[in-house]
Amino acid sequence: MVAEMGSKVKPGQALQPVVYYLLRPVRLFQAYDRSNLRQDLAAGGTVAVLLLPQAIAFTLIAELPPEMGLYAAVIGAIVAALWGSSNQNHTGPANAISLLVLSALTPIAVPGSPEFIVAAGMMAVMVGVLQLVMGFARLGVLVNFVSHSVIVGFTGGAGLLIAFKQLRPLLGTTFPDNNVVETVQGALRTLPETHLPTAAVGLGVIVLLVVLKIVRRKVPGALIAMLVASLAVVVFRLDERGVAVIGELPRSLPPVADLPLFNLNFIAQLSTGALAVGAIGLVETMAIARSLATQTGQRLDSNQEFVGQGLFNVAAGFLSGYPGAGSFSRSAVNFNAGARTPLASVFSGLFVLVAMFVLGPLAAYLPRAALAGVLIIVAFNMIHREEIARIWRGARGDAIIMLVTFLGTLFLAIEFAVLLGILLSFALYIMRTSTPRVQAVMPDDDFRHFLHQPDKPCCPQLGVIDVLGDLYFGAVNHVEEAIHQHLTRYPDQRFLLIRMHNVNHCDFSGIHMLESVVRLYRDRGGDVFLVRVSPPVKKLMHSTSFDTFLGQDHFLSEDRAIDYLFHRVLDPSICIYECPVRAFKECQNLPKHFYPQAVAILRPARVKENHAEDIPPQELRRLLLAGERPVTVIDVREPREFKRGHIPQAQLKPLPSLLSENMEFAEDCLVVFVCRTGRRSRLAAHLLHEKGCCKHVAILQGGMLAWETAGLLAAVE
């Protein structure tokens, strides 16, 4: 509804979209069906079991205090659900986003330091503001221009990075892990120094998760593994043997963070990272929402989803959380658990809030190695091997974007890799839309459809071209160049029929290009015709007076276009005497008397050598009426053409019979040949002059078309 508002917004209407999006919870509760309450509660409880350990684990990826992840989990589950669009999408801490936050903040502050924590909160606010602005400005459509390959490449690379970064807590050793190479080298170098109890806990968790997944996929494996690991710490007193634990979590509502909102230098430092986090968060969230909507049939509002994500991140920043986004795993669990409305996500957040107060002290026994084991399993699940293989086998452009983003995530600054992938997506889109296919088409064997058949002989007079894309400023040069190349390949095609059913948009540059093409063909004695012009494009053509320039009769019906051109525009003499091809349905019953020499005779250089004079229609009329000298008019057209209209004094001698007969004329007789346009007349005059049948040969200039245009057809008759 809001997306369809007009572009001219009155002063009192400027805030209407903002108010509409902000009132989403009101509409949600007003329309809520209480029969969904039981399903939503059950789904919320199921997701909470997964959300609690994930919130802690994902926060450790960002090297932030675990409570920040719990705060973000509660806020995301509630705020993003109430102000979002999807019924099943679940928002909060996300693995790839957490890694992106760490990468963006590490150059600014030391991970885990107070400055680092403040920077994470400030980045969340900046990300939220960016997303809110995009939502209120109704820019949700922009997310469609980011290739799916960016997400696949980024999540795959992020999965490997997350797994590598968990080697230190998994093995209980210390080494630099600023990049992949350094991490692998450090792990191998310090392998003999592995803390065995720590490694036993971490590897045991990995084995337990794999077994649980094989035995029963739907059990909350992460929660069970953490509980087992905590129990092992308590029973065997592993914390006293050097196994690092998380420590007791605070039991309180999210406190308000003190953020440097007006520190412009600090904001500038965070801006690039915030842009990358905001963009990837929106793309990832919308990808999840769309995949769920295809199964539920829900109609999504991407702008509303942007507002929901923005409000969540702003609230998370001010309430001691950090940036997040939609979660693939939790959203899938929410959907499979039977969530009917966004309230299922709200309930999951409330359940986690209660669990923080009840289970907070138990985190004192949760080993860090156990979380490392959980994250390694999560990380490898992030690598969508089947999707990577499909993209690699598919379009080359998508494969390149995926590979560049994947390698950039591994070896470059992650936020730069993300933005590079997004820029490549835009570049690929621009390349594809600026080079639409422009292809010559011909009727199929049944004359029902036009197809691109480059090996099939084409009509020597008429070219038919499909333009498969929009005629906007970025594409017009490519389209015009393709038409020029077609004309170079088929120089005798003086007429062009452009099929525009795939042209959904045209701007003023497109109009200029079409005008240039029309002038090109008209300068060569031909013309251009259009079929299936969409209403928006036709409206632009009318407002720019292009329809007047082209001529209203040049906009043809697709069903009748070839028939119209064949009978009223094309030269039948070329069809009969110079063309051996039966390209169109209308050609099938046409008599063919192919003379290969006709093409050579009628070339411009040979025409100049022709000894026949051109007589204008008015001059021929005067000679016929005056009787000053003997004049014989011979009409070389076909009988069906002759019956439609002819000069009364003319003798019908179709060109084939004329060339087969030996005709003789008086020495002082002027023989005037007549046809439709003058082409057949010129051929007949040339051939008879070479035979020596007559000395004084002329042709009617412009043929019967010129005679009729001059109004002489009725005058003589």
Token code pair at residue 477: 């040069």
Please tell me the pTM assigned to this model: 0.65
Provide mean pLDDT across the span 671-681.
86
Considering the chain, what percentage of its residues have pLDDT values greater than 70?
94
| Beta carbons of 141 and 160 less than 8 angstroms apart | no
Provide mean pLDDT across the span 402-426.
84
How far is 713 from 635, CA to CA, in rounded Å? 14
Question: 419-456: per-residue pLDDT in tens?
Answer: 788 888 888 888 888 889 999 999 988 888 899 988 88
How far is 94 from 89, CA to CA, in rounded Å? 13
The answer to whether the Cα torsion of 374, 376, 382, 386 is positive or negative is negative
- Please name the fold of domain 437-586: Transcription Regulator spoIIAA (3.30.750)
| Beta carbons of 66 and 56 less than 8 angstroms apart | yes
The highest-confidence range among 7-16, 236-245, 513-522, 592-601, by mean pLDDT, is 513-522
Which pLDDT score, from 0 to 100, does residue 89 have? Answer: 94
Q: 529 in helix, strand or coil? A: strand
- Please name the fold of domain 610-716: Oxidized Rhodanese; domain 1 (3.40.250)
Which pLDDT score, from 0 to 100, does residue 9 have? Answer: 43
The highest-confidence range among 405-419, 456-470, 635-649, 690-704, by mean pLDDT, is 456-470
Q: Residues with Cβ < 8 Å from 257, sequence gap 6 or more? A: 118, 121, 317, 318, 319, 320
How far is 700 from 712, CA to CA, in rounded Å? 13
Q: What is the largest CA-CA distance in the chain?
A: 131
How far is 229 from 235, CA to CA, in rounded Å? 10
| Beta carbons of 495 and 461 less than 8 angstroms apart | yes
| Beta carbons of 274 and 412 less than 8 angstroms apart | no
Average pLDDT across the chain, whole number? 86
Q: Answer yes or no: is pLDDT of 342 > 90.
A: yes
How far is 547 from 549, CA to CA, in rounded Å? 5
Domain map of the chain by residue range? 2-28+37-165+263-362+383-429, 437-586, 610-716
How far is 128 from 309, CA to CA, in rounded Å? 7
Counting every residue, how long is the chain?
717
Token code pair at residue 13: 């209407």
Which pLDDT score, from 0 to 100, does residue 256 have? Answer: 94
Which pLDDT score, from 0 to 100, does residue 303 have? Answer: 92
Lowest mean pLDDT among 79-93, 479-493, 512-526, 575-589: 575-589
Q: Answer yes or no: is pLDDT of 13 > 50.
A: no
Which pLDDT score, from 0 to 100, does residue 595 have? Answer: 57
CA 235, distance to chain mean position in Å, is 58
The highest-confidence range among 22-31, 43-52, 231-240, by mean pLDDT, is 22-31
Which pLDDT score, from 0 to 100, does residue 642 have? Answer: 87
How far is 682 from 92, CA to CA, in rounded Å? 82
How far is 201 from 314, CA to CA, in rounded Å? 37
Which residue in this structure is represented by tokens 């999504």? 300
Question: 190-218: per-residue pLDDT in tens?
Answer: 999 999 999 999 999 999 989 988 887 66
> Which residue type sits at 505?
H
> Which residue type sits at 363?
A
Provide mean pLDDT across the span 585-593.
75
Which pLDDT score, from 0 to 100, does residue 371 have? Answer: 84
| Beta carbons of 499 and 464 less than 8 angstroms apart | yes
Considering the chain, what percentage of its residues have pLDDT values greater than 90?
43
Q: Answer yes or no: is pLDDT of 611 > 80.
A: no
Provide mean pLDDT across the span 549-572.
90
Which pLDDT score, from 0 to 100, does residue 714 have? Answer: 60
Of residues 420 and 605, the one with the higher pLDDT is 420
Lowest mean pLDDT among 123-137, 194-208, 214-228, 619-633: 214-228
Question: 360-370: per-residue pLDDT in tens?
Answer: 777 778 898 98
How far is 59 from 75, CA to CA, in rounded Å? 14
> Which residue type sits at 433?
T
Which pLDDT score, from 0 to 100, does residue 594 have? Answer: 57
Q: Answer yes or no: is pLDDT of 577 > 80.
A: no
| Beta carbons of 157 and 403 less than 8 angstroms apart | no
How far is 716 from 626, CA to CA, in rounded Å? 13
